[in-house]
Structure 1
Amino acid sequence: MQRRIFNRTLLAGSALAGTGLLSLPVQAQSGFKEGKDYLRLKQPVAVDAPAGQVEVLEFFSYGCIHCFQFEPQVKAWLQQKPAHVSFKRVPVFAEPLQRVYYALEAMGQLEATHDKLFALFFTDSVRPAGNKPEAMADWVAKAGVDRAKFLAAYQSFGVAGKVKRASQLADLYQVEGTPAVGIAGRFLVPGQAERTLPIVNALIAEARKG
């Protein structure tokens, strides 16, 4: 999903956006090419992962159909990712949906609702009736979340701060579409369907070399 298109079309119900493990030098591995298959950031981004860990960020949105389609690949990858990989999702592009993600995280409800929200949006074609907090609460309630507690979290300063940081990360990683994957504060892999995670794995191996 393209950044500029996203905010205009998200809640109109459009199906939007674009994105999939290995180990030798990136160029030698499967012909992955800088500038074509992945981007090397000119300015490295600070990472939150502990020393010895390679940070991997998935930039996504609940309103991106390609993120929805990419999710099974991500789940399979997480089942076998190395212990030295620190993974985190980063919701981007649409502030109401970013707030949904971080509100659910603050409530401890994210794991229980993540798949349900994707399914609501794309399997059941049930989308928020607008951008207002009440509309988002009505939508999330369909996934079994307490509406009043969600609204309190959704409008909290803590959630607002996390949304701001997520948007900053998207800018620093030069994310222009979703899904996309950032690696070690050094690389960005735009979504390329089944090719995405093999490229990510190659870059993880590259990042570990220092």
Structure 2
Amino acid sequence: MRNLITSAALVVASLFGMAAQATADEAKAPYVELTNPVPVSAPGKIEVVELFWYGCPHCYAFEPVINPWVEKLPKDVNFVRIPAMFGGPWDAHGQMFLTLEAMGVEHQVHAAVFNAIQKEHKKLTDKNDMADFLATQGVDKDKFLATFDSFAVKGQIVKAKELAKKYEITGVPTMIVNGKYRFDIGSAGGAEQALQLADQLIAKERATTKAVAN
């Protein structure tokens, strides 16, 4: 009887140890799986979101790493940049980004805006200063100012803030894969590792989609 009790105790201890190890492994995962997945902007494609801020030096350092990766993404992956807007200059820069995006010129001046803020130490928090700088980059000043305060851009601001809340982000740069998985450079172990993790999660989502289809 004593041996049976001892054996049972060992089994329970072993199972408890395995459960504890599983919990520990989950805690060490380089990403967080969102409790409430967020719908993607382009149904039928695997979405990768980067939340960023023009005033963030880490986001700036990530640019030469993530941009070549984005250019090589397969057709079934949709990459989206969303400005994190936590108030003050975050909101100003976010509204500038969304304005340029609405005008269809964001991709042409994105690097120039980053350089102006990070290397030339321009604040670019006043819309008139933004317009003056962007005019030197070929952006129509009057059109920019009109679009900046437009109803469409204000709607995009609300949407960006709502998404940041749903993603439960606390800093930038942060990446979200298919509205389900959130991670940052720190949790991934570095910039290159973050993109490798994104590739792994993209492959995971692609395999899941195929399995459901079959």
The 5-angstrom pairing of residues 73-88 of structure 1 reads: 73-88=65-80
- TM-fit CA distance, 1:126: 2.1
Shift of 1:33: 5.8
The residue number in structure 2 matching 1:42 is 35
Residue 121 of structure 1, CA deviation? 1.0
Q: Distance between the aligned counterparts of 1:74 and 1:33, measured in 2?
A: 27
In the other structure, the counterpart of 2:101 is 105
1:175–1:80 CA distance, 2 compared to 1 (3 A): same
Superposed CA RMSD in Å reads 1.8
Matches of 1:34 and 1:204, distance apart in 2: 21
Match of 1:3 in 2: none
Stretches of structure 1 that go unaligned for 5 or more consecutive residues are: 1-31
- 1:2-57 CA-partner distances (Å, limit 9, x unpaired): xxxxxxxxxxxxxxxxxxxxxxxxxxxxxx96654111001111112231x10111
What's the TM-score, normalizing by structure 2?
A: 0.76
Residue 184 of structure 2: aligned partner = 190
1:178 aligns with 2:172: yes
CA–CA distance in structure 2, aligned partners of residues 36 and 139 of structure 1: 43
Identify the residue that residue 122 of structure 1 maps to in structure 2: 118
Structure 1 pair 34–162 and aligned structure 2 pair: CA distance change class (3 A): farther
* Number of aligned residue pairs: 176
**Separation (CA, whole Å) in 2 of partners of 1:189 and 1:144:** 35
Please point out which of 137, 162, 166 is paired with 1:168. 162
Tell me which amino acid in the other structure corresponds to 1:39: V
| Residue 167 of structure 1, CA deviation | 1.0
The equivalent residue for 2:92 is 96
Larger radius of gyration: 2
Partner residue in 2 for 1:24: none
| Separation in structure 2 between the aligned mates of residue 172 and residue 116 of structure 1, nearest angstrom | 30
Distance 2:27 2:184 in 1: 12
Matched, 1:208 2:202: no
How far 1:64 moved relative to its partner? 0.9
